Homo-oligomer: A and B are copies of this chain.
Amino acid sequence: MTLNHSNFELLSNETAITLAKKLGLVKTDATLKCREIGDGNLNYVFHITDTATKKGIIIKQAVPYAKVLGESWPLTLKRAAIEANALIHFKSYCPEFVPQVYYSDEQLAITIMEDLSHLKIARTGLIDGDKFPLLSKHIGEYVAKTAFYTSDLHLEPSAKKEVARNFTNPELCKITEVFVFTDPFFEELPGDYEVELTDAAKSIWNDQEVILEVAKLKQSFETEQEALLHGDLHTGSIFASDTETKIIDPEFAFYGPVGFDLGQYTANLLFQAVTRNPAGKEEIFTHLQEFWDTFEETYTSLWNTQNKSPFRQVNGYLSYVLTKFRKDAYGFAGCELIRRTIGLSHVADLNVIEDKETRIAAKTTTLKIGAFLIKKREELDVPAVIEALKQHTLPTYSTL
């Protein structure tokens, strides 16, 4: 489908309020405030609040280019419809972890949804030392449910193909293909890294074993339609509190390998595991273990109770599937660790470290761990990853 952009018009604080009133989503006689709070790269986000009741709504509008990449990287507005549809799909499987969509409009490229401003972006919270004791259990449950319910094991395979067709998302997948799986792995392609990381970066570019494994992982990302993924499941796509978790921003949603969602979340926990002090690291190790345990337990339970495949009871099949998810996840996590360190899009977890030496050391470690995960992914589990991190016994990079 080609969208006609002629009806597209960027919202302002004023027209956002007018729209909300017109749709009956706020009281017409209320005193309303509107602020643009978007800090992402692809969208504007308008937060409208009723100054009396303090209740709010969010209007998210896609713009026809990637903000951070400039107008030279055009993106159709179709991603707004993909995001709205993905939220609706995911909410049907995991109502407690997905915001409510009130309205969406493909022409205006907007999605109007639940205000989550009582929660905190998980990345910010983790950097601030917030505990979020349920966060990783919730994400594990969310990935297990979305992965299982959108797969050929639960959907009729013919129906799944139609869903997958509707979630064909070439433009957003291309961003991942270029910025996660390609540019960070070739010296001659665009990158963004501190000069002190040059040697560590060169060690990656010159490591043919890493590059070969990344080629395989990229191929998996491009070809394997296992389930409807979030597609960008880092800690900046999650709102959290001590009791609540909401996963937002699924504009990268597409049918892909389940390990990609698992790996993105894992990697973004690992940034914290690298940068924290020993007690803080232990908290993150607990998150890591709870994430994987909850994912595997939930997925196993769904397999045993709601799997429609005639092969569901074949000895070894569930184990094969879980093992594949795990191997893929550690590989994808490795790519994420590396691209967030030397690629075009960085993470605050590393960049908030003010002391240069400490920051460079942390970034050198994320590169090393990234390469380690990519190369050893066939034999890893959470304890093995924790062990490697704890003991700092990663071999010197060149022999990894």
A-side residues, CB < 8 A to B, are: 152, 157-162, 164-165, 168-171, 173-174, 177, 182, 186, 189, 208, 211-212, 214-216, 218-219, 222-226, 309-311, 314-317, 320-321
Contacts and interface: CB of A to CB of B under 8 A. Distances in A.
Copies per complex? 2
Nearest to A168: B165
Contacts of A160: 222
A222 B150 CA distance: 13
Given A216-B320, A223-B226, 16 more contacts: A152-B219, A152-B223, A157-B170, A157-B222, A158-B174, A160-B222, A161-B170, A162-B170, A165-B168, A186-B310, A208-B315, A212-B314, A215-B317, A222-B225, A224-B225, A225-B225
A41 to B, nearest CB: 18
A170 B152 CA distance: 12
Contacts of A174: 157-158
A314 B208 contact: yes
The 4 lowest CB-CB distance pairs between A and B, nearest first, are A158-B170, A215-B311, A161-B170, A165-B168
Q: Which of A165, A182, A224, A310 has the most CB atoms of chain B within a 10 A radius of its CB?
A: A310
Given A189-B310, A212-B320, A311-B211, A171 B158 contact: yes
Contact of A211 (B158, B169, B186, B314): B314
Contacts of A314: 208, 211-212, 215
B212 A315 contact: yes
A222 B315 contact: no
Contacts of A162: 168, 170
A327 to B, nearest CB: 14
Nearest to A189: B310
Nearest to A158: B170
A164 B222 CA distance: 11
Contacts of A169: 161
A310 B212 contact: no
A277 to B, nearest CB: 39
Nearest to A182: B310
A168 B165 CA distance: 7
A314 B208 CA distance: 7
A181 to B, nearest CB: 9
A225 to B, nearest CB: 5
A202 B291 CA distance: 42
A214 B311 contact: yes
Nearest to A225: B223
Contacts of A321: 219
A326 to B, nearest CB: 16
Nearest to A218: B311
A161 B157 contact: no
Contacts of A157: 170, 173-174, 177, 222
Nearest to A311: B215
A162 B310 CA distance: 31
Nearest to A161: B170
A313 to B, nearest CB: 10
A168 B173 contact: no
